[in-house]
């Protein structure tokens, strides 16, 4: 991933892929490298359960990073305006609305290195905004793959399960959960109930 270590006058990097593909680990790896180089790094994540506090971006391998939690009702403009940072990292970007795309463009235009991590597909396998639009705007994209829990091949899909059964296509798009509700699957093993 040498391309993303290039220093520029402002750009957008997107780290995407399915759940369990290591996106947050990769985000943390990049922000650790930037901090070692003495760069000022600020990390943001969305509030997905109505809390408003400083929290941590954590990955399954134990790495952690203190993050500013952006509340659902908070004006993203005010959060990102006059940011004093060289590097701005945003985890779980799929929980932000589409206004994140314009904000990231402004930050990159203003000279910031913007690193965004998030899933690019819904549990139905459809594009999940705002990440696909961020990918279109980005200079660098890395799409990571997990391993399909059914067949062991590279996985890019988020399999939602309800009581162990594939979720119906009519289910709400956002349903926050972990391994109890989701599996990484390849396109051939990914199932969405219809009818
Ligand atoms: Zn599979």
Give pLDDT tens digits for 175-195. 988 888 999 999 999 999 998
Ligand 1 (ion): residues with CB under 5 Å are 148, 150-151, 153, 186, 189
Q: How many CB atoms lie within 10 A of CB 182?
A: 21
Tokens 């790094």 belong to: 41
Domain count, the chain: 1
117 Cα to the center of ligand 1, angstroms: 24
Bond preceding residue 12 cis, omega within 30 of 0:
no
Range of the domain at 93: 2-145
3-class DSSP state of 147: strand
CB 21 within 8 A of CB 155: yes
Q: What per-residue confidence (pLDDT) applies to 99?
A: 92
CATH classification at residue 27? 3.40.50.300
Q: Which of 55, 92, 102, 165 is catalytic?
A: 92
pLDDT < 70: residue spans in the chain: 1-8, 49-54, 58-63
Ligand 1 center–CA 125 separation, angstroms = 14
In a domain, 20, yes or no: yes
180 is catalytic: no
Whether residue 46 is contained in a domain is answered as: yes
Residue 6 lies in a domain: yes
Q: How far is the CA of 155 from the centre of ligand 1 (A)?
A: 7
Does residue 126 belong to any structural domain of this protein?
Answer: yes
């Amino acid at each position: 991933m040498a391309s993303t270590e290039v220093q520029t006058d402002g750009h957008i990097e997107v780290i995407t892929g399915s759940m369990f593909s290591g996106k947050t680990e990769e985000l943390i790896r990049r922000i650790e490298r930037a901090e070692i180089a003495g760069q000022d790094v600020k990390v943001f994540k969305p509030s997905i359960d109505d809390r408003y506090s400083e929290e941590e971006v954590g990955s399954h391998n134990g790495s952690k990073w203190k993050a500013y939690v952006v509340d659902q009702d908070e004006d993203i403009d005010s959060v990102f305006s006059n940011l004093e940072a060289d590097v701005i990292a945003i985890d779980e970007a799929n929980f932000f609305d589409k206004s994140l795309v314009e904000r990231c463009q402004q930050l990159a235009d203003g000279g910031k290195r913007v690193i965004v991590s998030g899933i690019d597909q819904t549990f139905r396998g459809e594009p999940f905004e705002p990440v696909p639009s961020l990918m279109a705007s980005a200079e660098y994209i890395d799409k990571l793959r997990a391993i399909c829990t059914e067949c062991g091949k590279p996985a890019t899909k988020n399999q939602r399960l309800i009581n162990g059964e594939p979720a119906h296509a009519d289910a709400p798009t956002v349903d926050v959960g972990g391994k109890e509700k989701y599996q990484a699957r390849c396109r051939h093993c990914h199932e969405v109930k219809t009818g």
